[in-house]
């Protein structure tokens, strides 16, 4: 196949999804690799390094889309890319399809084969780890008096206490944030709905953190003594309640900080609205909010290396084995299949956008095989299934 690496064009995006190391591996497998000039520059990977790895450099995204069988980058497709999609072309990027109906429609109209990268990670996304760790540090930066915060130092000083930090959600993001804040000396409470996870985490930290069941009532009880809240909860799309509503902000001291790492409209924090690295903070009810949607982009080199390492097995499996075989071998890749030649194959998107969908294993003709299994990517279910006899490929 001809593999194409695009330069990301989303504002504030500095990462790349493939470093020269992954390009060398793809070329060694016998494929051709095209790389758009500057694709890795802001992450610290020069064009010359890609050339040395065996890639051919091209100037424009139009050339990548026109010449490549497999096209990849980090973030969502921008409207200027929609007309460039081709039937049968493989697209692998963070589509976030449930939240982007226009992008989904363009993908379906083009009849391309699209994978949403955020759903493909068996061991949790490196971007989630990066967001948790760096989000914790941005939270500490937001606590500074010069940024509107109350001016507390994370581990305290002689005669002055450490910060009290509340982490909502103990998944990959929350665990990553916890590792940083604990190491720096914060007094941390972790909340989750999984008692087993809380028990295991408390043992991991030698009983030196507090854990609680994540409920709105428990959060409200802690907020008056909490200096910083990190929201790491993947809030189900379509819910209209909140873990922290605007009234609850008044329970917090002025200059306290909320870092919404999960960063969703209609998410767990009612007062959330997305910010950028250029203007990362705003204040509501005296509480500093840090709501940058692309925290991992601030550590583009490290995140790119970790991210590329996590997806290169998927790239190689698709390139070397084809779509059907790759999806049969890996359930996490299969659940990431978003659209196949004009048909939606992503359950959450079906439910939230009221579109009919087809299970990936059905449209790929592998349902009767022994398949690698994966848990659903989200709790959202859809019964709006298109009968297989209506699928015309």
Q: Which residues are catalytic?
A: 96, 264
Q: In 3-state terms, the chain is what percent helix, strand and coil (to 5)?
A: 40, 15, 45
Between 300-321 and 126-142, two packed helices, what is the crossing angle to 10 degrees? 160
**Backbone angles phi and psi of 156, in degrees to 5:** 80, 175
Task: Give the HSE-up count for residue 174: Cα atoms under 13 Å, Cβ half-sphere.
Answer: 24
Other residues' Cβ atoms within 10 Å of the Cβ of residue 283: 13
Distances (CA, A) of 354 to 114, 194, 347, 362, 392: 19, 31, 10, 20, 21
First to last CA, the chain: 21
How many degrees, rounded to 5, is the angle at CA 300 between CA 176 and CA 185? 30
Parallel, antiparallel, or unpaired for β 337-340 and 113-116? antiparallel
In the 8-state DSSP scheme, what is residue 253?
P
In the 8-state DSSP scheme, what is residue 357?
B
Query: Rounded CA gap, 190 and 209, in Å?
Result: 8
For residue 263, which of 194, 379, 168 has the smallest C-alpha distance? 168
What 3 state SS string does 147-193 have?
HCCCCCCCCCECCECCCEEEEECCCHHHHHHHHHHHHCCCEEEEEEC
Query: Rounded CA gap, 100 and 120, in Å?
Result: 18
For residue 297, which of 125, 91, 75, 146 has the smallest C-alpha distance? 75
């Amino acid at each position: 196949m001809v593999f194409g690496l695009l330069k990301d064009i989303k504002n504030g995006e500095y990462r790349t999804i493939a470093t020269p190391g992954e390009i060398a591996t793809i070329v060694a497998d016998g494929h051709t690799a095209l790389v758009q000039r500057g694709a890795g520059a802001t992450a610290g990977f020069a064009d010359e390094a890609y050339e040395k790895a065996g890639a051919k450099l091209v100037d424009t995204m139009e050339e990548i889309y026109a010449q490549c069988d497999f096209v990849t980058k980090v973030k969502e497709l921008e409207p200027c890319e929609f007309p460039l999609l081709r039937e049968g072309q493989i697209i692998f990027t963070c589509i976030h399809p449930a939240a982007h109906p226009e992008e989904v429609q363009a993908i379906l109209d083009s009849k391309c084969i699209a994978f949403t990268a955020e759903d493909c990670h068996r061991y949790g996304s490196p971007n989630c780890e990066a967001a948790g760790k760096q989000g914790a540090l941005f939270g500490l930066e937001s606590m500074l008096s010069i940024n509107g915060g109350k001016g507390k130092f994370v581990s305290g000083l002689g005669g002055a206490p450490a910060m009290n930090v509340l982490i909502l959600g103990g998944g990959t993001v929350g665990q990553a944030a916890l590792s940083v804040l604990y190491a720096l000396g914060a007094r941390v409470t972790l909340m989750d709905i999984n008692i087993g996870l809380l028990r295991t985490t408390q043992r991991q930290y030698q009983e030196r953190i507090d854990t609680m069941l994540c409920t709105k009532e428990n959060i409200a009880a802690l907020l008056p003594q909490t200096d910083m809240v990190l929201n790491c909860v993947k809030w189900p799309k379509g819910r209209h309640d909140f873990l922290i509503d605007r009234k609850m902000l008044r329970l917090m001291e002025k200059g306290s900080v909320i870092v919404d790492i999960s960063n969703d409209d209609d998410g767990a924090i009612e007062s959330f609205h997305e910010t950028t690295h250029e203007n990362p903070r705003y204040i509501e009810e005296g509480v500093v909010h840090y709501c940058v949607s692309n925290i991992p982009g601030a550590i583009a080199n490290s995140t790119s290396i970790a991210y590329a390492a996590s997806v290169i097995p998927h790239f190689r499996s698709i390139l070397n084995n084809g779509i059907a075989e790759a999806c049969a071998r890996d359930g996490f890749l299969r659940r990431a299949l978003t659209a196949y030649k004009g048909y939606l194959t992503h359950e959450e998107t079906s439910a939230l956008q009221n579109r009919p969908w087809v299970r990936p294993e059905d449209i790929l003709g592998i349902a009767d095989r022994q398949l690698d299994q994966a848990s659903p990517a989200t709790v959202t279910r859809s019964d709006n299934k298109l009968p297989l006899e209506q699928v015309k490929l």
